[in-house]
Structure 1
Amino acid sequence: MQNAPVSGPLEGVTILDLSRVLAGPFATMTLAGLGARVIKVEVPGTGDDARAIGPFQDGRSLYFEGINFNKESIALDLKDETDRKTFEALLAKADVLVENFRPGVMDRLGLGWDELKERHPKLIYAAASGFGRSGPASDQPAYDLIVQAMSGMMSITGERGGAPVRAGVSVGDLTAGTYLCLGILAALFRRASTCRGELVDVAMLDCQIAFMEEPLTSYANTGVLPGPRGTRHPSIVPFQAYRTKDSQLVIAAGNDQLFAKLAGALGKPELPELEKFSSVRKRFEHVDELETVLEEALSERTTDDWIAELTAAGIPCGPIATVDQVLENPQVRARNMIRQTAPRQDGSRSTVIGNPIKFGSYPEQMEPLPAPQLDQHRESILAMLATQE
């Protein structure tokens, strides 16, 4: 199969992507950014459900475009005899199949792991679902909101004493997509020596549980039930947002040495000498009192002033940026984390997120290919299959 649009360590790897909405497409977007060729197999007429999710610009879904660039699209009805033959031909050439249906859907189509591993022994079958392929909830549907709630994450998110809050981004999907990538990469590594495929089974709830390592293990061993923490760390102090003269900033003075530097920069060099603030553990026991003392000092100057001062002193800190400020951050720009896609036929472009994984041997992609129109690459894909018969 032809090379991917991105130069990277996964060049030569071809992925058939049956997934839709977020978890699966986020995984395949990441793999495309590493050099894999991703052929998105969509439902004729409607395509990926995400194409109907806003916000929209010039009739295009920005939600869809943000996680489906650098991919090709072909629309296939897997219940249609002709389209099924095309899909089977693609399977014979693919390294990885990605899907995020509920367990059992692919089996009913005759395309489940148990059947495909016999016909395509080198194929890596990567499945993401709400609850995985085992357990009493395996056949139940799930969305990001469901797993954020069920994992306990919402119970510790929000202001202290407040109601549970959903995280501002779909971490349930994004963590599942990230773990799906890890599983696929591990399976590809194993296949290099065994020449055998593998089933990768990733559950959204499992992934959220994995990201709840501190609160779950802490409660399991102490019996102390955590609640919403605001911006505070569960055990390190000072490690939170503080008010300044004009706004807020975050400070992460995570050890005694940094706290001493912070105290000096704030004009309070005596603080580390006080018994109640003398160690991380003591500061945690007096966190409310310390917050009052620090904010009293911080209120004398602006956030920008303090960030300059504290950064010069080697104290980890930063502003609480709004989304527009993030886009203009020179560090973000320097790392090429904000990209403009190559122009479409009408000259329009989309702004997308760059690849956070940088390599010394591969140049960064300056202009990602825009997300495909539904069935955009049918002719080129069919022509490729015809020439390889």
Structure 2
Amino acid sequence: MSGVLEGMRVVEGSAFVACPSGGMTLAQLGADVIRFDAIGGGIDNHRWPLTPEGRSLYWEGLNKGKRSVQVNIGSAEGKELVAALATAPGPDAGILMTNFPATGWLSYDSLRRHRDDLIMVAITGNHDGSTAVDYTVNCAMGYPWLTGTGGTVNHVLPAWDIICGQTAAVGVLAAERHRFRTGQGRLVNLALSDVALAAVSMLGHVAEAQLLGTQRPRIGNDLYGAFGRDFELADGERIQIVAVSARQWTGLVAACGIAGEVAAVESETGLSLTSTDGDRYRVRDRINPMVARWCANRTLAEAAEALDAHGVCWGRYQSMLELVAGDPRCSAANPLFAEVDHPGSGRYLTPGAPLRFPADNMVDPGPAPRLGQHTDEVMADVLGLSAPEIARLHDRKIIA
């Protein structure tokens, strides 16, 4: 099915997470995203997790819905082919997204000689062009010193990469709108560490350190500035309970039957636990045992019934296997997912775009391409090469 970006063509030169996730976001909204790789695949082509046959589920997950071409980008002719793809004519083409070094033949100035209104989003590690990846950015942002109860605790989610990819996709759309209005192309520079710095600044961390001169303490699984924590149930299950609004808090108090104890704490401290998030945080060591005692005497089923009846915000801790096996949100019942056959890997749940448009604008998520699957097709329909010309490129090992 067509999507809201139908007709847009984006050429992507990428590796790892940030750039390919941004390209996939555009593909899932209907853009024709053509990923080019070196012959044999790039450095992320065999990244774990792998199927027993050695196919990368990581690579598949980040490249759904794209077209794939293999080009000998070490050769002058291969570079010319990629440049021609990136600058091909058409009002909805001439868009390049990459986290490869945007220098030499892949620089904006070099490519712009072929098409003056070129749009290019160039992702780097740091704003000065030096190298950084999610793991080196994460350790510098302060969060490992706020997480857990001791030592440096890294987050397993490459959050900055994911956010960077979405920001890159927004950059493409913003530059494309600018070109639509003015006829002018744009070079958009995006640094991974700037994405992280913008995020921690938005959440107040930079101002907190600069203005207050304070280092936020480690608080384990408690929710900073409000009430929230994990609790163990009678059957060994563990849940997260959060109360970040007056309604959620009053529901929790009613569900746990602790109104009298809460009133005593308010009377003793002069705090308002109903109206003020920060007050609940200040006396969390008084509140946590009340909720923990209630949880310890109830199974998951019993706690769920009571918490749901009172509109409490809560969630169950579950493994990845449990998520896939039993959570209705991670199933074909959710319009996000479809069961898709991925050649060489198998049939599994595959998400489309989480943005919800009317059904006639939803794009079938489709499988990830095989490496180089669309090489001949792209050479013909984008560059207009004939079958003999394409055959000669194969013979000279310029494409595969």
- TM-score, scaled relative to structure 1: 0.88
* 2:183 paired residue number: 195
Cα distance in structure 2, aligned partners of 1:26 and 1:347 = 20
Cα distance in structure 2, aligned partners of 1:387 and 1:256 = 63
* 2:396 paired residue number: none
* 2:86 paired residue number: 91
After TM superposition, the structure 1 stretch with the greater mean CA deviation from structure 2, 112-121 or 370-379, is: 112-121
Report the Cα offset of residue 190 of structure 1. Answer: 1.8
Helix, strand or coil at the partner of 1:114: helix
* 2:140 paired residue number: 150
* 2:347 is aligned with 1:358: no
Helix, strand or coil at the partner of 2:204: helix
* 1:306 paired residue number: 303
Cα distance in structure 2, aligned partners of 1:361 and 1:27 = 23
After TM superposition, the structure 1 stretch with the greater mean CA deviation from structure 2, 10-19 or 116-125, is: 116-125
* 2:61 paired residue number: 66
* 2:11 is aligned with 1:11: no
**2:4–2:361 Cα contact (<8 Å) kept:** no
* 1:281 paired residue number: 278
Report the Cα offset of residue 278 of structure 1. Answer: 2.9
* 1:337 paired residue number: 336
Report the Cα offset of residue 288 of structure 1. Answer: 1.3
Classify 1:10/1:163 alpha carbon distance in 2 versus 1 (closer, same or farther; 3 Å): same
Match for 2:232 among 243, 247, 255?
Answer: 243
Match for 2:17 among 10, 15, 22?
Answer: 22
Q: State the identity %.
A: 26
Classify 1:271/1:122 alpha carbon distance in 2 versus 1 (closer, same or farther; 3 Å): farther
Cα distance in structure 2, aligned partners of 1:337 and 1:304 = 27
Cα distance in structure 1, aligned partners of 2:83 and 2:209 = 49
Match for 2:49 among 55, 58, 61?
Answer: 55
* 2:343 is aligned with 1:349: no
Gapped runs of 5+ residues in structure 1?
Answer: 1-5
**1:39–1:73 Cα contact (<8 Å) kept:** yes
Match for 1:165 among 153, 158, 162?
Answer: 153
Cα distance in structure 1, aligned partners of 2:220 and 2:323 = 21
- TM-score, scaled relative to structure 2: 0.85
* 2:316 is aligned with 1:319: yes
Give RMSD over aligned pairs. 2.2
* 1:107 paired residue number: 103
Q: Deviations over 1:342-374 (max 9, x none)?
A: 453x794354333211102535344x3322222
Q: Which has the higher contact order (CA 8 A, sep 6+)?
A: 2
1:242 maps to a residue whose letter is F
* 2:30 paired residue number: 35
Helix, strand or coil at the partner of 1:70: coil
Helix, strand or coil at the partner of 2:44: helix
* 2:169 paired residue number: 181
* 1:3 paired residue number: none
**1:15–1:38 Cα contact (<8 Å) kept:** yes
Q: Deviations over 1:30-73 (max 9, x none)?
A: 1100111111110113x121112122112211111111121111
**1:56–1:62 Cα contact (<8 Å) kept:** yes
1:316 maps to a residue whose letter is C
Q: Deviations over 1:244-290 (max 9, x none)?
A: 22222111111334322211111112244231463233322211121
* 2:249 paired residue number: 259
Helix, strand or coil at the partner of 2:184: coil
1:221 maps to a residue whose letter is L
* 2:65 is aligned with 1:75: no
Gapped runs of 5+ residues in structure 2?
Answer: 387-400
- Size of the aligned set, in residue pairs, is 369
Match for 2:121 among 126, 135, 145?
Answer: 126
Classify 1:290/1:22 alpha carbon distance in 2 versus 1 (closer, same or farther; 3 Å): same
Helix, strand or coil at the partner of 1:145: helix
